[in-house]
Amino acid sequence: RWVPIRCARPGACRTIAAGRCGFERTLQGHSPGQAAADHTYCHRDMSPVFLLLVHADPQQAKRLLRRLVSVGRCIVHVDAKAELSAFRIDDPRVSYVKDRVDVRWGAISQVDATLKLMRTALAECEVSQVSHFMLLSGNCYPLRPLEEFRTFSQLHVDTNFIKMIPLASTRKLHE
């Protein structure tokens, strides 16, 4: 993980690289732009891992998988009600959750399936090489070039992009 630390000298910066990437060195007196360039170089071998929850339209899911594996691994949870073989593609960069959940819309089973998907990803991926985990449904499809996403994720290794919507009941607790 890269942690920017400001020097006592105005306009200078020092960036310490350590942690997730295993790359350790100190850059002293470099401009922020140079530190960012070195940061990108350090994380150039990192890639996203796509976590897919699928239940219908196996042709769409396979098309999506073939597209995603060009920039990262894919871990797939196929709803237990669906035939697993219909969603399978023969690619070593794609793994399937073995202990599948019978998912019901809006039920806790969606959370159970997501947690099993995440556990499978953590067990099968070398986390030090993962820039981000990205949760998708089988209905998602990238509109922009995936290499652009890979570069973006490498530049933002230390940033989590999470959408949060406060529930009405929790707002009352904070008033």
Average pLDDT for the chain: 76
Which residue type sits at 68? L
Residue 32 to residues 4, 14, 154, 161, Cα–Cα distance (Å): 9, 8, 17, 23
For residue 13, what is the DSSP state?
A: E
pLDDT reading at 5 higher than 50:
no
As a whole-number percent, the residues of the chain with pLDDT over 90 amount to 43
Q: Is 143 exposed, middle or buried (0-12, 13-18, 19+ CB in 10 A)?
A: exposed
At 164 the pLDDT is 73
Would you say 28 and 14 are in contact if contact means Cβ atoms under 8 Å apart? yes
pLDDT bucket at 1, cuts 50 / 70 / 90: very low
Backbone phi, psi, residue 66, to 5°: -60, -30
pLDDT bucket at 166, cuts 50 / 70 / 90: confident
Name the β-bridge partners of 3: 16
pLDDT reading at 21 higher than 80:
no
92 — alpha (psi -120 to 50), left (phi > 0) or beta?
alpha
At 165 the pLDDT is 75
pLDDT reading at 62 higher than 60:
yes
The highest-confidence range among 19-28, 93-102, 154-163, by mean pLDDT, is 93-102
pLDDT reading at 168 higher than 60:
yes
Q: What is the mean pLDDT of residues 137-166?
A: 83
Q: Token digits for 44? A: 């150039």
- Strand-strand pairing, 13-17 and 25-30: antiparallel
Sheet containing strand 73-78, edge to edge, reads 94-96, 73-78, 47-54, 130-137
Would you say 134 and 55 are in contact if contact means Cβ atoms under 8 Å apart? no
Task: Report the predicted TM-score, pTM, of the whole model to 2 decimal places.
Answer: 0.69
Which residue type sits at 89? I
At 9 the pLDDT is 30
At 24 the pLDDT is 29
At 173 the pLDDT is 54
Taking the C-alpha atoms of residue 33 and residue 110, their distance in angstroms, rounded to an integer, is 43
At 153 the pLDDT is 82
Q: What is the mean pLDDT of residues 53-72?
A: 95
